[in-house]
Structure 1
């Protein structure tokens, strides 16, 4: 079994004991964002050209409580809910079927921690950390079999499968029973068990913290490309075949934490450590990655929304509210995921719309009016499909 260590520290944290300015590697594309100040007026129409609203059908077999994650393929929404359960809806929001069921028998899961879509074979993999197995189903929910975790695998927090059928696992921050230096692992199937292709070592936190904040979604799959970002990092990596390569680096005027800083703060948990980094004006990392055909969208430091035009190689960064629509929330919601086209996917709960019923009824959007007329407090969430404008960067940068 090929089992090598890929030390992100070599590229990402090749640093002295002291904190130091960000040094952009020559081998990656630097993401340098033009700043949009808080008082700059940013009409939402300059960012989003269309929002489609898809209410998810509410049935006795599909009553969602709290959406944890959304994946998309072949016109289907695969939705992981905290019930727990994994539900499939079509492009109109019509409920199709569930994936698996809770239990301890064959084809049943004890708890779904994460799942992935095998787009090549039209299968769903459900990660059951209690059983230490992945249960496989087709898109209609028929059980196909299982594969055991490798001995060195821990409890994946997020999983994604590449077009080469390589699985990328993201682990939560170490906590007591999950203590490990590995932040990510690349895996491939080998008979009935996973084989570890690459271990990605990056952790600098020792204090138990439980699971990471749900606002972090540091893996993006779009257009047969997978990107990911380690904690407290300016780097973004791509999975290409069975290799990990540096792809982008966020340019920031802030310093990056050095070994001495992390050593002196090793007893702090993730949240307290992030606060201390902010207090010392250190870069606290990339919290979300979403990629479309044209754009790379990032949430950095739990605060800044960054939009990078991949063709123009220019970007903007802003902090604040845009016409009463907070675009941080668009990027921070843990369920958001980019498709392989020019839109991003999110959701809102019925109370969000019902609280704004008066304003919506005055709106000229007939689709929105129809939506609010049919919603109740007990309805399932509404999927939102945002189509981004193609000239976002040129619209804002000349105004600087």
Structure 2
């Protein structure tokens, strides 16, 4: 079965955690003891209904305030597909948490409260989904039960959202679904209260949306994570290179180039826990053996000569600043890109983005927490990279404070 990673986004009290709880509950993906604990906790809190949000909101502060603060991951499966859900916070001061949770997602569910319509937070989350190249959006208009399941309200909200989304450049598909997470309308089963809606339920769409085209299967990229030398009698001369395919397809016999050295060789065999493979493609984790003995280690990359990555020490990128401590002018940081780590210095802050208006704010020289904008970096060693638009794996990096070892920013190469 294939795997779909998706994230939820929406303003405070739009019902993200309740929606995930409803998905898990109605698809029979929670255990009886979890349900009993949730019912008991709901009674103790004086809630009128079983509070499904308690399935994902585990922090004490989250339960007290009724908001999501940290990213919560939940796993479930149906006969058609496996799912990993990232329940991300909607509050403006936790933008960095949303960026973290959405960075690996194939699809984003953006919740809109039917009573409030499209608000600034909705635009913020759509912009972040666009920035992170999430190509599939589900616009879930929640709390339809509080507007008497009105088709006019729903159509007006979707029209407003599509008007804003038309200014974004990446989103491939927008699917709009009217739901009530509290009552379960159109979440797992089709709602009888909205006969005017003829589209799929949310779960049906999640099971059937095609995300196979999201990976780059053209540009062959294999960052080496580890050199495997068993030193055993059975595998006496074995030398394999383990890692995750970041793009393209590799087959035994393929001619490959080792970067940054530039040596050429061929793939001898592809090994996996299931045995030898006839091919490997993104995002599979495999071990490659080569026909020639070459000095190759962690941080190097195997590519095909017909479409090599860019090699440069000067990087232009969009970044989201994570740290409480503002970025110093010409900050010296550690940059981690695929399996490579190198020192970097911030040469210039180009602009910040006002997420609500999409306007560029120029004349700034620093970043504070949750700011998003464009910077120029100079690295100590050349990076083997693609643009984030072309390949999310080889086009992304994180910045680390060398003094505290704190991850201070996530970056997407322009």
Whichever structure has more strand as a proportion of its residues is 1
Q: Computing the radius of gyration over CA atoms, which structure comes out larger, 1 or 2?
A: 2
Q: Which is richer in helix? A: 2
* TM-score over 0.5 (shorter chain): no
